[in-house]
Amino acid sequence: MVIARFYIKNGVQGVGYRPFILEQIFNFNLNGAPKNLLDGRVEVVVEGEREDIEDFYEYLKAKMPPAARNPGLSEAEFGGVHVADRRDAALALNLNQWNTAIPVVISINKNVMGLGEKMDGLGKAMHEGFERMGTEMHEGFERMDKNFERMNETLEALPERIARAFKDMK
């Protein structure tokens, strides 16, 4: 099994490219998913047999969704970390919801842990980073809640303070 990544550009967002690519990922018996990027490109990461990936890549060079206009494919780069199961990744991308994406992130984290044992602790460091990030996010939300409480208290006291200020002006 190998992993490949490539990018498609030139009017490939909003024309049905991701569903088209997902269908082809299934048809070529690969794992992976396409992802829209902020710069207008679509990133494709797939895992499978090299020959299947090469066939998939050549197919995408020749075929496209009907609404696509002159897409350009970058060269496929081989190598990288195991990608999440294609059904989970596709579901998370299509629903575009955090509660759906979290299992994919957990799956990737578990795969990184297994790979990391072979790569001198890289997976462990990434796992600890995920845990630290989760803790910091939780603490950040707690601080935000406290700030909102203080702001709410200040706003509730504001009419009384304004009335007192007008009274003191007389």
pLDDT tens column, 29-54: 888 888 888 888 888 888 888 899 89
As a whole number of angstroms, the distance between CA 81 and CA 66 comes to: 33
Q: Are residues 154 and 78 part of one domain?
A: no
Q: Are residues 84 and 30 part of one domain?
A: yes
Instruction: Tell me the pLDDT of the chain averaged across its residues.
Output: 75
Helix-helix angle 122-169:98-118, to 10 degrees = 140
What is the pTM for the complete model shown? Answer: 0.47
The helix/strand/coil state of 71 is coil
Domain ranges, residue 10 = 2-119
Q: Are residues 94 and 28 part of one domain?
A: yes
pLDDT tens column, 62-102: 887 766 666 666 666 677 655 555 455 555 555 554 454 55
Q: Are residues 99 and 34 part of one domain?
A: yes
Nearest to 21 by CA among 45, 2, 37: 45
Q: Are residues 113 and 69 part of one domain?
A: yes
Catalytic residues: 18, 36
- Domain count of the chain? 2
CATH of the domain at 44: 3.30.70.100
Q: Are residues 154 and 141 part of one domain?
A: yes
Q: Are residues 132 and 113 part of one domain?
A: no
Q: Are residues 114 and 128 part of one domain?
A: no
